[in-house]
Amino acid sequence: MSQAEIANSLERLRRASLIDDSKRRVQRLAATEFIVHGIKYFYPPELGAYSRGMPTGHSAKPLKGKLVIEENLEWVWPDAEGKDRGLILHPIYESVPFAAQQDPELYELMALIDSIRAGGPREKKMAEEHLRKRLMSSRDRKIAHEA
């Protein structure tokens, strides 16, 4: 992302009260509510063909193995070098898989968000519980940026 995209994004988040006026602290309660109740409307799930990729949603930690999923219904972000196969679930932004590969905690959070976006009632409930627990119990997190 360019610096201008980042600056514009941070300003939109501030206006939506998802971060504070300094643009350095996430308003955790508001952000959690937005993700749980709004993410699927801003980033509706788009499923694609069966392909190779990086597991997401119920196919990745922390939900992997906690739900009974029909065979061949694994979800993946498209990745030609991926070792897993499943239905493509397009990420909310094209760079998400790359960023998730660099940060295991981010990867798990994005997989939970995908379960909220595209999952059935049980998946959504489990993902919401995990997400609330992680976001609400975490220490104050600063947003790293150079805006």
80-118 per-position pLDDT tens digit: 888 999 999 999 999 999 999 999 999 999 999 999 999
Task: Find the domain containing 44 and state its range.
Answer: 3-137
Residue 142 has pLDDT above 60, yes or no: no
Is 7 a domain residue? yes
Buried b (16+ CB within 10 A) or exposed e, 49-76: eebebbbbbbbbebbeeeeebeeeebbb
Is 145 a domain residue? no
More confident call, 136 vs 58: 58
Is 144 a domain residue? no
DSSP state of 140: P
At 52 the three-state DSSP class reads strand
Is 128 a domain residue? yes
Residue 71 has pLDDT above 80, yes or no: no
The model's pTM: 0.83
CA 34 to chain centre: 12
Q: Point out the least confidently predicted range of 3-17, 43-57, 59-73, 132-146.
A: 132-146
Overall domain count for the chain: 1
Tell me if 3 sits within 8 A of 10, measured CB to CB. Answer: no
